[in-house]
Amino acid sequence: MRGVTRGTGLVTVLAAPLALIVGCSGGATPGERAASRPSVSASPSAAALPTGPYAALGDSYTAGLQVDPTSGGPKGCGRSAANYPSLVAAGLKLAPGRFTDVSCSSATTADLTDAQRVTGGPNPPQLDALTADTRLVTVGIGGNDADFMTVVKQCAEDGLANTALKWVDPDKASNAPCQAAYTAADGSDKLTGVLDTVGQRVAAVLAEVTRRAPRAKVYVVGYPALLPADPATCAPVLGNTVTPGDLSFLATQEQRLNEVLRQRATAASAGYVDTYAPSLGHDMCAGPDARWIEPPFPAHGRAPLHPNAAGQQGMAAAVLRAVRGG
């Protein structure tokens, strides 16, 4: 998703609304760990493992923002040599020159067809990495098109305002003020149209991937869980900044985004890699040794609300399972 190197970064966006956030605690339960096997939808035939060329397209969740060591490409892309595409390439034992990673932080679907302006850039159109010889493509995109981090910011701001309202007029306080803000007068969800547009854009990307790399196995990689199933476990991290109702709302919106990606992958005869299920219990509110996603105030040197090294490893395991047909 959107990184901290382009536009309004996450640190700037979230530091004020989330000023009440404190340290994190807790970890995955035995049941959550037992449920952490990668879950993969129907995928292209894996009768023969691809030996490359492999091209990885995507945003900061693919690039591995602030996961050491850094890799090539423009500095603003934040591309890691230990991101899930690199780990997948290593797992498939691809020969040198058979793997190309063009993912870039803050990328939207538009940046797959046009050059992306970043520090040290531009990053060339990501789809230009595909050729008729390409045999494997992973695509991790859509979160920035949905402007998901703006929704997170809105929920943080509404949560703080709601906390103040409890002192002034408790009867007007809400358990889910952000959800209410995104609900139309007729009760419909205002984000439905946004997700429909994301789906259309992803469908167009997949059609172009097929046109440029007609013999490639293609996998759309979903987003891992940012938040736990039980909002109460986030109290040590978020305090009263985001209400329990809005935490559930945010988790539901991320799952809706992933469902859109899954549906579009299926419609395009591509595979869909579910990284959400295996990441349950490894969200931002898990303990430091369990989390795959860093909290808004992350460990030193890590990107807030983004996968850390363990998260990239978990995502790589899910992708490899899909590619191997497991």
Q: What is the pLDDT along the chain (326 residues), one digit of tens a residue?
A: 765 443 333 333 333 333 323 223 333 333 333 344 444 444 444 457 888 999 999 999 999 999 999 998 999 999 999 999 999 999 999 998 999 999 999 999 999 999 999 999 899 999 999 999 999 999 999 999 998 877 877 777 776 555 544 445 455 455 777 888 888 888 888 889 999 999 999 999 999 999 999 999 999 999 999 999 888 888 888 777 788 888 998 999 999 999 999 999 999 999 999 999 999 999 999 989 999 999 888 888 999 999 999 999 999 999 999 999 95
Rounded Cα gap, residues 195 and 258, in angstroms: 10
The terminus-to-terminus CA distance of the chain in angstroms comes to: 27
Contacts with 79 (C-beta within 8 Å, 6 or more apart), sequence order: 63, 64, 70, 71, 72, 73, 101, 103, 104
Q: Hunting for tokens 């932080």 — which residue is that?
A: 105
CA-CA-CA-CA torsion sign (225, 229, 230, 233): negative
Q: Hunting for tokens 């809105």 — which residue is that?
A: 154
Q: What would the two tokens of residue 251 be? A: 């988790």
CATH number of the domain at 10-41+54-277+287-323, out of 3.30.450.30, 3.40.50.1220, 3.40.50.1110, 3.10.20.30?
3.40.50.1110
Cα 72 to Cα 66, 79, 100, 220: the distances in Å are: 13, 7, 10, 23
Q: What would the two tokens of residue 103 be? A: 């993912």
